[in-house]
Amino acid sequence: MAIHTIAILSPGDMGHAVGRALGEHGHDVITCLAGRSERTKTLAGQGGFSDAADLDALTDAADLILSIIPPAAGLATAEAVAAAMQRSGAKPPYADCNALSPATARRIADVITGAGAPFIDAGIIGPAPGKSVPPRFYVSGADTAPMETLDGKGIAVKPLGPEVGRASGIKMCYAGLSKGTNTLHTAVLMAAQAMGLSEELRDEFLYSKKDTYAHMQANVGRLPADSGRWIGEMEEIAASFAAVGVTPNFHLGAADVFTLLSRTPLAAETRENMDRGRTLEESVRVYVEQLP
């Protein structure tokens, strides 16, 4: 089947950039903005999306559906799309591109295939299209060809075989390091601030771990803007690790850090309006105010 019209749920930070890239490569990109925030509607406009009236119209028009949403909403979104497929009679392939455990990906696969549509497990690694190197979409499942047609169109598509859960698994391992490291850095800096040792620890990092401290400066201060949607991702990583006998406690702790950050005033910021002039030290002082 030719893939011309691609539906993306939803045009957030990653989704709108993926849609823009695919549109620049000749695809029609659609979404459903009913009930969505003004920010999402703005991002959809920036991405060149057309707006379907509802999920029924979206499934009827789409040749392929990409779910790119906060992981906590993955299952509910799949259930809503499956219901729309049943009503509309359209059964386009559905690629779940969210940060989910292999077990959750398999539950979503059951929902989508139960509605009669093909399912593709996908995991995104890397920044949104247009920022640096293209993001990698790892894919697995019985038929990943619809996703493979998008390779080189602002994204890189990397097949991992027919087993649902493999693409989700590599995302869990990668994010376990990348976002897990950021939460460890945040915890260390908060502890030092609470002990009155921030300056001394900073000086030691600048002496013995300059690269690590540079990473902290680049990343720790911007975490609150995404903290709310990353809590669920850490919980999915914890479940993924536990399922294979690896301790889940690192990432349950990471979820705790993101929960704390989500309670700070800085969590009201978005990637578009965050104060990029705020120093790492200023951010950490705000975080510590939320400690018990």
Q: Are residues 130 and 73 in the same domain?
A: yes
Q: Are residues 86 and 66 in the same domain?
A: yes
Position 1 scores a pLDDT of 66
Q: Are residues 88 and 149 in the same domain?
A: yes
- Picking from 119-133, 165-179, 243-257, which range would have the lowest pLDDT averaged per residue? 119-133
- Computed from CA positions of residues 274, 100, 153, 94, in that sequence, does the dihedral angle turn out positive or negative? negative
Out of 147, 163, 179, pick the residue that ends a domain.
163
Q: In what order do the strands lie in the sheet with 156-159?
A: 50-51, 28-31, 5-9, 64-67, 94-96, 119-125, 136-140, 156-159
Q: Are residues 147 and 186 in the same domain?
A: no
User: How are beta strands 64-67 and 5-9 bridged, if at all?
Assistant: parallel
Q: Are residues 261 and 157 in the same domain?
A: no
Position 53 scores a pLDDT of 94
d(CA 32, CA 10): 8
Domain span at residue 175 reads 169-288
What band does 272 get if pLDDT is binned at 50, 70 and 90?
confident
Out of 130, 163, 196, pick the residue that ends a domain.
163
- The pTM of the full predicted model, rounded to 2 decimals, is 0.93
d(CA 127, CA 172): 16
Q: Are residues 231 and 100 in the same domain?
A: no
CATH number of the domain at 209, please. Answer: 1.10.1040.10
Q: Are residues 114 and 189 in the same domain?
A: no
Q: Are residues 88 and 152 in the same domain?
A: yes
Per the structure, the count of domains in the chain is 2
Q: Are residues 32 and 106 in the same domain?
A: yes
Position 188 scores a pLDDT of 98
CATH number of the domain at 31, please. Answer: 3.40.50.720
Q: Are residues 114 and 209 in the same domain?
A: no
Beta bridge partners of 156: 136
Position 102 scores a pLDDT of 98
